[in-house]
Amino acid sequence: MQGSKLYVGNFGYSTVDSQLEKLFSPFGQVKSVNVIGDKGFGFVEMSTVEEAEKAKEALNGSEFEGRTLRVDEAHPQKSRPDRNFRR
């Protein structure tokens, strides 16, 4: 892994930041948590790459509130073409 920010997916739509922070905190210091609305995914940033790797290894494929989590290294969002472009 190159970064300390993780993508976390497939959790319940009612999950909030504090729940993910509690889930990830045993693996190190959680710098930030960002649940994306009620979409069932979000991002967790750990304080070091090593902590992020430990959390990923432990939590990817684990069960959280009846759902199987997907945890992976977060990648920068790719730029999207402007949808309002007209010729």
**Residue 54 located in a structural domain:** yes
Question: Who's near 67: CB < 8 A, 6+ residues apart?
Answer: 10, 11, 12
Residue scoring higher pLDDT (70 or 2) = 70
Average pLDDT, the chain: 93
**Residue 81 located in a structural domain:** no
**Residue 78 located in a structural domain:** no
Give every strand in the sheet of 30-35, ordered side by side.
30-35, 41-46, 5-9, 70-73
pLDDT, position 17: 97
pLDDT tens for each residue of 43-57? 999 999 999 999 999
Q: Residue 29: give its domain's CATH number.
A: 3.30.70.330
Under 8 Å between Cβ of 54 and 42: no
Residue 71, pLDDT above cutoff 90: yes
pLDDT, position 76: 82
**Residue 14 located in a structural domain:** yes
| Domain region containing 63 | 5-73
The total number of structural domains in the chain stands at 1
